[in-house]
């Protein structure tokens, strides 16, 4: 069987495993919603808890979202698919996000493999389930991803990602019980496919430049905004700093910008310490973030916190765990490394 076909078979198996895992996460999320049954509706605008439908890991959230250039393969699945091919790994991840004031929860699983294919083709699958404001808008989302990436040498990487997205909203919206803001009563508001694409250039070992487009099929709705932007990152294993900027063409009825920056330092070879900043033109807000974690050859555990300092007051907490399957000896070793 050709290497690309073997990789696709492996990814299909991973997709089936993710489907089962997401079913378990759905039950967990439902328990979280039930536990909030006596809570009041969120006073924040729905856009705050939804956060443009972006999927952030604890690391990317801690760095303000600035990981498009220097993101690891698992983050590449969500932020820039080209980066899945930048390192030879086989990573399995789980993550969660809790939005305190917004009453939101997001649970996700992912798997990224750039080892199994001798042609160096990398592939990833992942999915998230989201719940927002159960006593208010009562929004639920399902976001499934599949991506492929290929390295052209050790300096240029190209990635394409597909996404299936579904959103329903059964509660009362900000305008009260109305057809305009209360959803469709059990029917999906959005159910569509999207396409992401990204490239990353590493002219030197310490410098990375990226360009990324999301939802390039242009679904023409604010739940799946088409965006285009990129990042510039400098750093190595022990320290890195990155700045990103994107243009959002759909979320606010006009083109708006988001600018992000972050820095990371690895202490004692195991403990990453991170800080970040984000400016959101659409929400007229500034946010600070930070996080820490523990990295080993076999696994990584991470925590991140993001807090707005102007605009709508909101706090989000991110948890994540990543298992490095290549360290187990169950996978073939990489034929080369970048």
Q: Residue 92: its pLDDT value, please?
A: 97
Task: Please state whether 183 falls in left (phi above 0), alpha (psi between -120 and 50) or beta.
Answer: left
Q: 144 in a domain, yes or no? A: yes
Task: For residue 235, give its domain range.
Answer: 3-328
CA distance 222 to 252: 7
Q: How many domains does the chain have?
A: 1
Q: How many residues can be counted in the chain?
A: 338
Could you tell me the two tokens for 240? 């890195």
The model's pLDDT over 258-279, given as tens digits with 9 standing for 90+, comes to: 999 999 999 999 999 999 999 9
* Mean pLDDT for the stretch of residues 206-218: 96
Q: Of residues 336 and 2, which shows the higher confidence score? A: 2
337 within some domain: no
The CA distance from 100 to 48, in Å, is 11
Query: Hey, CA dihedral for 286, 291, 295, 300, is it positive or negative?
Result: negative
The residues, ordered by sequence, that sit 6+ positions from 89 with a Cβ below 8 Å of its Cβ are 72, 73, 112, 113, 114, 115, 324, 326
The closest alpha carbon to 142, from 168, 103, 181, belongs to 168
Phi, psi angle pair for 337, to nearest 5°: -135, 160
Separation of alpha carbons 93 and 214, rounded Å: 22
Residue 187 pLDDT class (50, 70, 90 cuts): confident
How far apart are alpha carbons 302 and 335 in whole angstroms?
Answer: 29
Q: pLDDT digits over 98-149, tens only?
A: 999 999 999 999 999 999 888 899 999 999 999 999 988 999 999 999 999 9
CA angle 149, 9, 299 (to 5 degrees): 65
Number of helices (H) and strands (E) in the chain: give both, helices first.
4, 14
Torsion sign across C-alpha atoms 282, 283, 284, 288: negative
Q: What is the pLDDT at residue 40?
A: 82
- Residue 15 in this model has a pLDDT that exceeds 80: no
Residue 142 lies in a domain: yes
- 338: in domain: no
Q: Which two tokens stand for residue 323?
A: 């298992």
Cα 118 from Cα 188, distance rounded (Å): 41
Q: Is residue 317 part of a domain?
A: yes
Phi-psi region of 52 (alpha: psi -120 to 50; beta: other; left: phi over 0): left
Structure confidence at residue 34 as a pLDDT band (50, 70, 90): very low
Indicate whether 335 belongs to any domain.
Answer: no
What the block records as the tokens of 122 is 């990398």
pLDDT digits (tens, 9 = 90+) for 291-332: 999 999 999 999 999 999 999 999 999 999 999 999 887 776
Q: What is the pTM of this model?
A: 0.84
Average pLDDT of span 150-158: 95
In a domain, 333, yes or no: no
Q: What DSSP string runs through 213-245?
A: EESTT---STTS--EEEEEEEEE-SSEEEEEEE
Over residues 30-43, the mean pLDDT reads 56
Q: What is the CATH number of the domain that holds 96?
A: 2.40.160.60
Q: Where are the alpha helices (DSSP H) in 36-92?
A: 46-50, 58-62, 73-79
Q: CA of 338: how far to CAs of 1, 87, 270, in Å? A: 26, 6, 21
Q: Is residue 179 part of a domain?
A: yes
């Amino acid at each position: 069987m050709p290497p690309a076909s073997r990789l696709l078979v492996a990814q299909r198996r991973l997709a089936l495993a993710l489907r089962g895992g997401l079913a378990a996460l759905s039950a967990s999320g439902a328990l979280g919603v039930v536990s909030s049954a006596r809570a009041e509706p969120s006073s924040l605008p729905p856009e705050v808890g939804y956060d443009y439908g972006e999927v952030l890991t604890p690391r990317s959230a801690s760095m303000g979202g600035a990981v498009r250039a220097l993101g690891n393969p698992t983050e590449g699945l969500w932020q820039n698919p080209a980066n899945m091919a930048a390192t030879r790994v086989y990573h399995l991840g789980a993550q969660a996000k809790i939005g305190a004031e917004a009453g939101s929860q997001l649970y996700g699983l992912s798997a990224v493999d750039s080892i199994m294919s001798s042609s160096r083709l990398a592939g990833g699958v992942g999915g998230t389930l989201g719940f927002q404001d159960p006593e208010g808008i009562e929004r639920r989302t399902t976001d499934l991803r599949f991506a492929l990436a290929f390295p052209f040498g050790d300096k240029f990487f190209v990635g394409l990602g597909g996404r299936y997205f579904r959103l329903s909203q059964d509660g009362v919206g900000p305008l009260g019980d109305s057809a305009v803001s209360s959803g469709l009563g059990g029917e999906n508001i959005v159910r569509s496919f999207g396409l992401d694409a990204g490239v990353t250039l590493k002219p030197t070992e310490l410098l990375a430049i990226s360009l990324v487009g999301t939802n390039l099929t242009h679904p023409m709705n604010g739940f799946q905004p088409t965006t285009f932007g990129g990042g510039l990152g400098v750093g190595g294993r022990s320290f890195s700093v990155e700045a990103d900027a994107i243009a959002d063409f759909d979320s606010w009825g006009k083109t708006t910008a988001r600018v992000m920056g972050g820095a990371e330092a690895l202490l004692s070879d195991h403990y990453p310490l991170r800080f970040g900043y984000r400016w959101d033109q659409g929400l007229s807000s500034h946010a600070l973030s930070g996080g820490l974690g523990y990295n080993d050859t076999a696994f990584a555990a991470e925590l991140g916190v993001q807090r707005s300092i102007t605009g709508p007051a909101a706090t989000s907490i991110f948890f994540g765990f990543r298992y490095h399957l290549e360290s187990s000896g169950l996978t073939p070793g990489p034929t080369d490394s970048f």
